[in-house]
Amino acid sequence: MNIELLKIINKEIEEGKSGVLCTVIRAVGSTPRDIGASMWVRADGSTIGTVGGGPSEKEVIEKANEMIKKGEIEPKIYDAVLREKESDGKSICGGEISVLLEPLGNEPKIVIFGAGHVGKALARVASITGFKTIVWDDREDLANQQNISWTETIICSLDEAFKKINFDKNTYVVVLTRQHSLDEDVVRLLEGKSFAYLGVIGSLRKTLKMKENLLKRGVSKSYVDKIYQPIGIPIGAETPEEIAISILAEIIAVYRKANITVLRNTYSIKEKSLSEI
């Protein structure tokens, strides 16, 4: 594999970019490239490197772009037969290749707004589980490497945080700041962003009031309805650590496409007006 290509990929991933690394892992017969030939397909559709060119490479790029569009994170193997005779625009090499397509830089990550007791506990269990985790807070005494040493912390204003954090289809957002109004601001700023999950901590009364306020501020109902409330799988959690585990359990359930309703033991809360609470 090309070392220079790997350096480029590593640099781009560190910059928050993503793509699919395509590597020839099997080559039989007459093929344009040998095992180890690689190509980087970026999220914007551009490429660097090659796995042989021609129609087969075009098909590999199409498969990679499809994986990026769907937000897939599991690697796949693409098999191509290079025809001996030119027909239907296919290659005339006459061999066979298998290409490993590995999505990189779009691993699932949890973004936590709020570095208080629950935020800190959630960052710990999330990082242990293997999620890339980012914690934001504007309080320097909380969002720092001394207090939360096992994951990335961001200390800045809320507006500045949204310039620093990259949201995508594999981002799981948890909002648990120190103030209800700040929680509301976070949710408002998230509208239009790409994410897989948005949960906001708080009682039913609080979340209904927040929804009411957001609608008055022009936030769409379809977006507000995406919020997971109440947050977490209902396990009777009381301590910050227990609450963190219930939240992470729900995130894992969404990530693994489990049946949330069953996990909640058919527990559901129907929409009610605040006057009914």
- pLDDT of 267 reads 44
- pLDDT of 255 reads 92
Give, in order, the Cα–Cα distances in Å from 158 to each of 100, 112, 162, 231: 40, 12, 7, 22
Mean pLDDT for each consecutive 10-residue tract of the chain (277 residues)? 88 86 90 88 92 88 91 88 56 76 90 97 95 95 93 95 90 95 96 95 89 95 91 92 96 91 60 41
Predicted confidence (pLDDT) per residue in 179-232, tens digit: 999 999 999 999 999 999 999 999 888 888 999 999 999 999 999 999 998 899
Report the mean per-residue pLDDT for the chain.
Answer: 88
- pLDDT of 52 reads 85
- pLDDT of 101 reads 97
